[in-house]
Amino acid sequence: MRSQRALLNPAKQRPLTPLQERFLKSGLESFEEEEIIELLLSLVLPCRQWKKQAKECIKQFKSLRGFLTASAEELHQAGITPSCTFCIKLLHELPTQILKEKIIDKPVYKSSTEVFDYLYYSMRDLTKEVFKVIYLNSQNQIIAIDDLFEGTVEGTPVRLREIIEAAIKHNAVHLIFVHNHPSGDPTASKSDKQLTRDLVYIGSVILIKVLDHIIIGENRYFSFADAELIKKYETDFLNIRIKKILQAKQYRYVN
């Protein structure tokens, strides 16, 4: 009963700590990573445990990023309570949701940078390759975003038939493909180039245009569209079709 009255009466709640007051005045700009972890822990832990637990977390996870991206099991092993784990995971997911709403609310897709800004936060710490597809309508408005395939550190098995079926299911007119390189190097491999070429070719056949294929690395990315490879593959496909048409005509004339 006493605890309920305390919740209803703000005057009886515990005052802000110096660390919390400092955050309200100046934000996180002057904070060390250990202090940010301590600030997070102060939301759910008794005051005497903050500093000690924050030091242990920095020691185990090496950085704030390592702390925020740790699994629930890893946090539990570090002595983090379930309620604290809940807060950590919620705070980590909020920016992803905000960025998602920001890009989906845009009237049209404009650049690879927009896609990178949205997806980098959620993909930068992945230890396996994940292959995403962004479906767009004829006005380049985003219809949906799917994680179609998940692979290993080495690569991702991509099944072209499933991509086609999903695109038709979403009534997509345009597609953007995105996958990450856990190594941090976004340089397109030979297999990345072959896959993108095949996707452009198939898209040309079924009249669904591939706008881009973006590879996300460590704080940087590679865009097939920016490198003008999408345009090259479209031209290659057109030349192949023209060549086959000419060959077919020549065959009819000879026979």
User: Would the pTM count as exceeding 0.85?
Assistant: no
CATH number for the domain spanning 178: value is 3.40.140.10
In a domain, 53, yes or no: yes
- Same domain for 187 and 237, yes or no, is yes
Picking from 196, 182, 181, 183, the residue whose alpha carbon sits closest to that of residue 227 is: 196
Range of the domain at 158: 122-244
Taking CA atoms, 215 is separated from 128, 176, 221, 226, in Å, by: 13, 11, 5, 12
CB contact at 8 A, 210 and 200: yes
For residues 113-151, one letter each, b for 16 or more C-beta atoms within 10 angstroms of the residue's C-beta and e for the rest, the string is eebbebbbbbbbebeebbbbbbbbeeebbbeebbebbee
In a domain, 229, yes or no: yes
- Same domain for 148 and 206, yes or no, is yes
Give all strands of the β-sheet with 130-136 in edge-to-edge order. 142-150, 130-136, 174-180, 209-216, 221-223
- Same domain for 154 and 69, yes or no, is no
In a domain, 80, yes or no: yes
pLDDT at 100: 62
**Residue 208's Cα: distance from chain center in Å?**
23
For residues 50-74, one letter each, b for 16 or more C-beta atoms within 10 angstroms of the residue's C-beta and e for the rest, the string is bbebbeebbeebeebeebbbbeeee
- All residues at 6 or more sequence positions from 191 whose CB lies less than 8 Å from its CB, including other chains: 155
The tens-digit pLDDT sequence of the chain (255 residues) is: 444 444 444 445 667 888 888 888 888 878 888 888 888 888 777 767 778 888 888 888 888 878 887 888 888 888 888 888 888 878 777 766 666 666 555 545 778 988 898 888 778 778 889 999 999 998 888 888 899 998 876 667 889 999 999 999 999 999 999 999 999 999 999 999 999 999 999 999 999 999 999 999 998 999 999 999 999 999 999 999 888 777 766 666 555
- Same domain for 72 and 9, yes or no, is yes
In a domain, 217, yes or no: yes
pLDDT at 246: 74
pLDDT at 75: 84
pLDDT at 28: 82
Picking from 89, 79, 73, 74, the residue whose alpha carbon sits closest to that of residue 40 is: 89
- Same domain for 73 and 128, yes or no, is no
Q: Among 95, 110, 142, where does a domain finish?
A: 95
